[in-house]
């Protein structure tokens, strides 16, 4: 089950699935600021990708400290099909008055900027911040679509951006706006 839409020269895809199984050049991790792993998407990526990803994340931490919300770092993909993992930190939802919308947009945009800088043409995003971080998914999916579409309209080298959602319920929320 998947939907496709063209934005400039790129294809936007929406599908249900497991982010760790995507065959895009990069997958995005919904990481936390420590970059040292966690539950949800983060745990699944480190389990499937093996220890080399965590090792690289540790090096980033040693050199640059914690990764603030809205920012992204890139590592190799370890044992994953994807060659790269872009770890981004979404905001924790506090009711919407603490800049959560902007920070979530930054998380998507900075991940795309990093991807473009590494000549990555295909990338898959999970639904950042809408699990343990509690961001309402209808609002988050609108930010995801708007930010990605805006980026693709500005002459980007990306050929496919894929949104990978886990549950049928989340798929329906995304599909409504797609």
> What is the DSSP track for 21-55?
G--SSEEEEEE-TT-S--SHHHHHHHHHH-HHHHH
Q: Of the two residues 78 and 156, which places its CB atom closer to ligand ADP in the complex? A: 78
Q: Which is catalytic among the residues 23, 42, 101, 138?
A: 42
Residues that bind ligand ADP (CB under 6 A): 18-20, 30, 40-42, 44, 90, 126-133, 164, 166-167, 170
Residue 76 C-beta: closest distance to ligand ADP, Å:
19
* Alpha carbons 116 and 166: distance in angstroms, whole number: 26
Q: Of the two residues 112 and 156, which places its CB atom closer to ligand ADP in the complex? A: 112
Q: Bridge-partner residues for 11, per DSSP?
A: 6, 160
* Alpha carbons 111 and 135: distance in angstroms, whole number: 18
Residue 154 C-beta: closest distance to ligand ADP, Å:
26
User: Active site includes 18?
Assistant: no
Q: Of the two residues 25 and 42, which places its CB atom closer to ligand ADP in the complex? A: 42
Residue 134 C-beta: closest distance to ligand ADP, Å:
7
Q: Of the two residues 12 and 164, which places its CB atom closer to ligand ADP in the complex? A: 164
130 in Cβ contact with 172 (< 8 Å): no
> Residue 60: which residues within 8 A CB-CB, separation 6 or more?
35, 67, 73, 75
Residue 176 C-beta: closest distance to ligand ADP, Å:
16
* Of 151, 136, 138, the residue nearest 105 (C-alpha): 151
Four-CA torsion 137, 124, 119, 152, nearest 10 degrees: -50
Q: Which residues are catalytic?
A: 42
């Amino acid at each position: 089950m998947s939907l496709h839409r063209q934005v400039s020269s790129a294809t936007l895809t929406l599908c249900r699935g497991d982010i760790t199984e995507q065959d895009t050049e990069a997958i995005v991790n919904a990481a936390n600021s420590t970059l040292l792993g966690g539950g949800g998407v983060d745990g699944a990526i480190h389990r499937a990708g093996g220890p080399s990803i965590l090792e690289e994340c540790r090096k980033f931490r040693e050199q640059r400290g914690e990764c603030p919300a809205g920012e992204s770092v890139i590592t190799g993909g370890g044992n994953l099909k994807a060659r790269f993992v872009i770890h981004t930190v979404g905001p924790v939802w506090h009711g919407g008055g603490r800049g959560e919308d902007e920070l979530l947009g930054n998380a998507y945009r900075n991940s795309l900027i990093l991807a473009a800088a590494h000549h990555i043409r295909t990338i898959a995003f999970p639904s950042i911040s809408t699990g343990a971080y509690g961001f309402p998914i209808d609002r988050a999916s609108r930010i995801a679509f708007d930010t990605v579409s805006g980026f693709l309209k500005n002459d980007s080298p990306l050929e496919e951006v894929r949104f990978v959602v886990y549950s049928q319920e989340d798929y329906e929320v995304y599909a409504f706006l797609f």
